[in-house]
Amino acid sequence: MADRVTICECFARDGLQHEDVFVPTETKLALLEAFAAAGFRRIEATSYSRPEHVPAFRDAAEVLRGLRRHEGVAFKATCPNPRAVERALSDLEAGHGAEELSLLVSATEAHTERNLRTTRARQWEKVTEMVRLADGRFRLVGVISMAFGCAFEGRVDPGVVAGDVARFAELGVDLITLGDTTGLATPVTVDTLFRLLSAEHPDLPLVAHFHNTRGSALANCAAALEAGCRHFDSSFGGVGGHPRQIQYGQGLTGNVATEDLVNLFEAMGLDTGLDLDHVMAASRMCEDALGRQLHSMVARAGLGIRPIPKPAEVLTHV
């Protein structure tokens, strides 16, 4: 097992889309700076969703313009349709574009209709056009929602997910995110799907995106890790889920909590590349930004025992 994992911090996008109250732009910028300072190399910054549908991101261009850029850090924006990519290109040409774009599909018709207001066939036409518009100017992330089960349709055929991954691969995306949108995955289904897709596309990185709706997100991350996954999404405080204006699922809809995932991986001896003190400082900033206690266990209990550093390699001179 490789020792290095990459965690994409999703608080500023997937986290905030579920909030009732608009978080000021300056607060978002302070949080994004804290995430970069903690060592995250992939960070979701915003979404180009239509403001009337997801008002949390009505300041998308202002956020990207105000970001302080860091070498080796990629900020990501979500794009649900071609108009969103056109907005991303406009910001890029103005000198403050995102480094990555997420392109969205869902594994089921019912969720596609509710979340994207279209059909699967039509959304794939849009994705194809989005890739054409992007024209290689961004790192592209294909996102498949409801990959492990659907709140409306129940079981999802792994063959459908495999077909979606193949279509994204043909379009030339750089990574593919498998989303457990309402927390229906289990370690068994995670292991099966990740091994299947890794065998079919050995050179295409898969990203594990698990929600903790039913308390299984950390277990599912461990299963994905065991199956070879090295890219994970998480959100400080375990916040997030579907846009507030779109109701599906019950209970907590949030992501796996970043604090808990980092603690687990570091305690297992994996290298997250993160400064743990800065991670905990960012955790407190996220709670302050939303004005309430969030859902991370580690935020309450503190970090576990930190792993003993590995002995430095002894060099023998001949």
| Domain CATH number, residue 37 | 3.20.20.70
What's the pLDDT tens digit per position in 212-225?
Answer: 999 999 999 999 99
Specify the pLDDT at position 254. Answer: 87
For residue 1, tell me if it sits in a domain.
no
Specify the pLDDT at position 241. Answer: 75
For residue 318, tell me if it sits in a domain.
no
For residue 310, tell me if it sits in a domain.
no
Specify the pLDDT at position 307. Answer: 53
What pTM does this model have? Answer: 0.93
Query: How large is the greatest C-alpha to C-alpha distance in the chain, in angstroms?
Result: 70
For residue 39, tell me if it sits in a domain.
yes
Extract the residue ranges of the chain whose pLDDT is less than 50: 1, 313-318
CB 236 within 8 A of CB 291: no
Question: What distance in Å separates the CA atoms of residue 169 and residue 142, rounded to the nearest whole number?
Answer: 9
Place of tokens 């700076």: 33
**The total number of structural domains that make up the chain:** 1
Specify the pLDDT at position 318. Answer: 37
For residue 312, tell me if it sits in a domain.
no
What's the pLDDT tens digit per position in 100-125?
Answer: 999 999 999 999 998 889 999 999 99
Which bin fits 172, alpha (ψ -120 to 50), beta or left (φ > 0)? left
Domain range enclosing 31: 6-301
For residue 308, tell me if it sits in a domain.
no
For residue 273, tell me if it sits in a domain.
yes
Question: Residue 6, class by beta-carbon neighbours within 10 Å (0-12 exposed, 13-18 middle, 19+ buried)?
Answer: middle
For residue 146, tell me if it sits in a domain.
yes
Specify the pLDDT at position 113. Answer: 94
Question: What distance in Å separates the CA atoms of residue 20 and residue 56, rounded to the nearest whole number?
Answer: 8
Collect all residues with Cβ–Cβ distance below 8 Å to 212 and sequence separation of at least 6: 183, 218, 238, 252, 254, 255, 256, 257, 295
